[in-house]
Chain A
């Protein structure tokens, strides 16, 4: 299995196309960083407007690396599924399209092993993308913008996290994001089994993610109470939960606490269930599939 995974990774990372995603992420991150470097205060004024009437707001301190990283993740993690679909949607369909699938299947490797290796490879790719994002969005921002306490504007409350209470939350959030993106991977992977051309699964995955995201974001009670809790897109953003602290009886944030850990874990469970279902289906379908490409 390890050998198969190595082979799949070798194929992915030998491919020029793979690096487009890395370049795209780097470009988006640098653009956001530049924007915040030169016009961060106006941006902050916008989201601090709720409290700047009653409080002195030290904008220069608030605009630190931790906040910049959060802004980047908040903007970027919505779009990274597209990049993830690019590789996972290509996993089987791309080989079919290239014609290499038929040769692969004549090798003494069971289709199940083959598929698991392929899926794991796309997960590794996803994790690499996230590590790349962490390096640029978090560590580069920390270097450029320094570190300080982190302020997050929510709908009804402004969260403040002490600077020495931030980093572990990012690690947890990146871990969660890896699972969330792997769910998109699994969807693209399943669709990839049905197609002989990578465009189909990639476009379908993106369309499904968009449609479900709209369903998740719309505040229509009919959907809210029925399908919404079960859509994976409703749980993709739960990484943010790691940045919300509990408050004590006197209204202060408790360092090192998470406001609603059970909700995050439930979301995580739902995503993992999705992954298992999607990948198992993909394997089952592929095992029965006649390779005609």
Chain B
């Protein structure tokens, strides 16, 4: 089996999900979902709370039985090769819940033993070192902060040296410093340790910063999947303009070629579509024509789109991609 589970085969799909679905009674939590994660990816899995991310991840980890479709990991069917696959997978699922009455060291050693491997003490301490909690290795987890527990959870996921690391909302509830630390840790795991990482989040900004590929789902369905660099294309930005004198602004715009870029107006807010490079030119012209600019806010179109999914919010809801 080892031969099948070799790593560093870039571009080889590590995870292949085919027409996966899960029904809880009448509710379709996951609906005909297909995607693939390639070797070496940091794969961002994005969706609002309740979109079906956790259900998908739980199916990938055999916590939940799919209602339909199938999951292949390392080229093997999960259903029939559960043990071999899970031996090479490390995961943190939602909250980092651990045995509070045990120490960090005891927790990590207990879970690694569950994987059937006896990890030497040195390796465990190294792992705790890597996530920065080695000096508290022998304190009870009950005394840990959420951030420390999250790190310990990641250490547990990593201690068996897995090829695939699945992190479900790893930054939930962390302070900004904690979020940054986890982000750096994920980047390091990918760059230096060449692990394939699937990380879920409900925050686009987070995924944007670390992922190379991403998937957005909503209501259990795939909305979009692709390379982050493509999806965050700078030639296709939304610019939100606010001015003091709305009617004058409208006249200026209609008198210029920018009228072709105007997507829509909502009271005193104008939305334009343009390349990132055009923004300074655009602003300059407005000012020169006597428009009193209050703000110019550029956003990726994807961001707007995602905002429209995650909040029943305001103006952007009429925007179409």
| Interface, chain A (partner B; CB < 8 A) | 3-4, 7, 10-11, 14-16, 98-100, 102-110, 288, 290-292
Q: Known contacts A7-B113, A107-B111, A110-B83: does B101 contact A15 (CB below 8 Å)?
A: yes
In contact, A290 and B65 (Cβ under 8 angstroms): yes
In contact, B115 and A3 (Cβ under 8 angstroms): no
Is B51 at the interface (CB under 8 A from chain A)?
Answer: no
Is B242 at the interface (CB under 8 A from chain A)?
Answer: no
**Which residues in B have their C-beta under 8 angstroms from that of A288?**
65
**Which residues in A have their C-beta under 8 angstroms from that of B61?**
102, 105-106
In contact, B101 and A16 (Cβ under 8 angstroms): yes
Supply 25 A–B pairs (Cβ within 8 Å), ascending by A. A3-B116, A7-B113, A7-B114, A10-B110, A14-B101, A14-B102, A14-B106, A98-B97, A99-B95, A100-B98, A102-B63, A104-B111, A105-B61, A106-B62, A106-B63, A106-B86, A108-B82, A108-B86, A108-B116, A110-B82, A110-B83, A288-B65, A291-B58, A291-B64, A292-B64
CA distance A288 to B84 in the complex (A): 20
Residues in B87-111 with C-beta less than 8 Å from chain A: 87, 89, 91, 93-95, 97-102, 106, 110-111
**Which residues in A have their C-beta under 8 angstroms from that of B156?**
103
In contact, A100 and B91 (Cβ under 8 angstroms): no
Nearest Cβ distance between residue A41 and chain B, in whole angstroms? 46
In contact, B106 and A106 (Cβ under 8 angstroms): no
In contact, B99 and A102 (Cβ under 8 angstroms): no
* Chain A to chain B: the 9 pairs with minimum beta-carbon distance, closest first: A99-B97, A107-B114, A291-B63, A108-B86, A108-B83, A290-B64, A106-B61, A108-B87, A102-B93
CA distance A15 to B153 in the complex (A): 20
CA distance A108 to B83 in the complex (A): 4
CA distance A171 to B47 in the complex (A): 62
Question: Of residues A14, A100, A103, A291, which shows the largest number of chain B Cβ atoms within 10 Å of its Cβ?
Answer: A103
In contact, A105 and B101 (Cβ under 8 angstroms): no
**Which residues in B have their C-beta under 8 angstroms from that of A105?**
61-63
Nearest Cβ distance between residue A231 and chain B, in whole angstroms? 35
**Which residues in A have their C-beta under 8 angstroms from that of B62?**
105-106
**Which residues in B have their C-beta under 8 angstroms from that of A4?**
114
CA distance A84 to B87 in the complex (A): 34
Query: A100: nearest residue on chain B (CB-CB)?
Result: B97
CA distance A179 to B45 in the complex (A): 50
CA distance A288 to B177 in the complex (A): 41
Query: A289: nearest residue on chain B (CB-CB)?
Result: B65
Residues in B134-157 with C-beta less than 8 Å from chain A: 153, 156
Interface size for chain B: under 10, 10 to 19, 20 to 34, or 35 or more residues? 20 to 34
Query: A17: nearest residue on chain B (CB-CB)?
Result: B101
In contact, B64 and A107 (Cβ under 8 angstroms): no
CA distance A4 to B82 in the complex (A): 18
* Beyond A4-B114, A104-B114, 13 additional pairs, beta carbon < 8 A: A14-B102, A98-B99, A100-B98, A100-B99, A102-B94, A103-B97, A103-B98, A105-B61, A106-B62, A107-B114, A108-B116, A109-B116, A291-B64
CA distance A15 to B89 in the complex (A): 29
In contact, A103 and B65 (Cβ under 8 angstroms): no
Residues in B27-69 with C-beta less than 8 Å from chain A: 58, 61-65
**Which residues in B have their C-beta under 8 angstroms from that of A290?**
58, 63-65
CA distance A10 to B109 in the complex (A): 11
**Which residues in B have their C-beta under 8 angstroms from that of A291?**
58, 63-64
Q: Known contacts A10-B110, A14-B102, A100-B99: does B63 contact A108 (CB below 8 Å)?
A: no
In contact, A106 and B102 (Cβ under 8 angstroms): no
In contact, A7 and B110 (Cβ under 8 angstroms): yes
**Which residues in B have their C-beta under 8 angstroms from that of A98?**
97, 99-100
**Which residues in A have their C-beta under 8 angstroms from that of B86?**
106-108
Nearest Cβ distance between residue B159 and chain A, in whole angstroms? 12
CA distance A66 to B41 in the complex (A): 71
Nearest Cβ distance between residue B81 and chain A, in whole angstroms? 10
In contact, A106 and B91 (Cβ under 8 angstroms): yes
Q: Known contacts A14-B101, A98-B100, A291-B64: does B115 contact A108 (CB below 8 Å)?
A: yes
**Which residues in A have their C-beta under 8 angstroms from that of B106?**
10, 14
Query: A107: nearest residue on chain B (CB-CB)?
Result: B114
**Which residues in B have their C-beta under 8 angstroms from that of A99?**
94-95, 97
In contact, A103 and B102 (Cβ under 8 angstroms): no
**Which residues in B have their C-beta under 8 angstroms from that of A104?**
111, 114
Q: Mark B244-257, 1 if CB is under 8 A from A, else 0.
A: 00000000000000
In contact, A103 and B84 (Cβ under 8 angstroms): no
Nearest Cβ distance between residue A46 and chain B, in whole angstroms? 45
CA distance A288 to B65 in the complex (A): 8
In contact, A103 and B91 (Cβ under 8 angstroms): yes
CA distance A122 to B111 in the complex (A): 20
Query: A102: nearest residue on chain B (CB-CB)?
Result: B93
Nearest Cβ distance between residue A290 and chain B, in whole angstroms? 4
In contact, A106 and B101 (Cβ under 8 angstroms): no
CA distance A203 to B106 in the complex (A): 31
**Which residues in A have their C-beta under 8 angstroms from that of B114?**
4, 7, 104, 107-109
Question: Of residues B93, B94, B106, B156, which shows the largest number of chain A Cβ atoms within 10 Å of its Cβ?
Answer: B93
**Which residues in B have their C-beta under 8 angstroms from that of A106?**
61-63, 86, 89, 91, 93
In contact, B64 and A11 (Cβ under 8 angstroms): no
Q: Known contacts A107-B114, A107-B115, A292-B64: does B102 contact A102 (CB below 8 Å)?
A: no
CA distance A107 to B95 in the complex (A): 17
CA distance A102 to B93 in the complex (A): 7
In contact, B93 and A103 (Cβ under 8 angstroms): yes
